Amino acid sequence: MPFIPSAMTNLMMQKMSSYRLHGSKTLPLLSATSSAVCSYLPAAATVMSTNVVTGPGSGTYTGKIVGCVPSIMSSLMILKASSSGIVGKDLRRIFDAVSFGVCQTLLTTAKAQGTVVGGGPGAGQGKIMSLVPSTLEKLIITNLYGRRLHGSKTMPMFLAIAFGICNHLMTAATVITTCVGAFFPPPVGPIIIPNAPGPGRLI
């Protein structure tokens, strides 16, 4: 199971340590964010791929996620935070740490899984869809319940984190698929199906 909150938190803390940043409020924030992301992405994210396959038939696919760039994800968070009037060097570093943990998890351990409609073996690519920043924000807040992390800047910061994660994954991330399955023999097949849809999810 790739979406392990403690593993994602450790990646974030490694990045924070590289900045020599520590504090009693840092770990609860990163831990709450990891818990929210690790529960939200497998539950809410959908993947829609387009595949070149041999058919007609039926198949499944697994997908590797590419295109996640921590600095770009972090910049989206900064953009959203700035629109709410919150800025700061440490804030950027927190966003960098969060983005690093999320992107590393997606690039190294997470994958997509789905079905191929109308075809068997082949390959293709897809996009991550259906992420809602406000929903992820609420999950972060829920995971922080009772941890005494309050302040006028906390709510805009949570929304900025959720905004950066969701929008970067839906606009920049790509799922590279490998399709397997069976196709009908002659006289029905084999034929090349150039645009076989492949609905799926992150696992």
Among residues of the chain, what percentage have pLDDT more than 70?
94
pLDDT of residue 22 exceeding 70: no
194: tokens are: 């150039």
Cα–Cα distance for residue pair 19/26, rounded to 1 Å: 13
- Residue 197, helix vs strand vs coil: strand
Give the ranges where 109-153 is alpha helix by DSSP (H): 133-143
Q: How many domains does the chain have?
A: 1
Phi-psi region of 85 (alpha: psi -120 to 50; beta: other; left: phi over 0): left
pLDDT of residue 150 exceeding 70: no
Among residues of the chain, what percentage have pLDDT more than 90?
82
User: pLDDT tens for residues 90-103?
Assistant: 889 999 999 999 99
What pLDDT, on the 0 to 100 scale, is given for residue 152? Answer: 55
What pLDDT, on the 0 to 100 scale, is given for residue 63? Answer: 98
Cα–Cα distance for residue pair 31/140, rounded to 1 Å: 9
pLDDT of residue 146 exceeding 80: no
Over range 115-126, report the average pLDDT. 97
- Structure confidence at residue 84 as a pLDDT band (50, 70, 90): confident
Domain that holds residue 198: 5-202
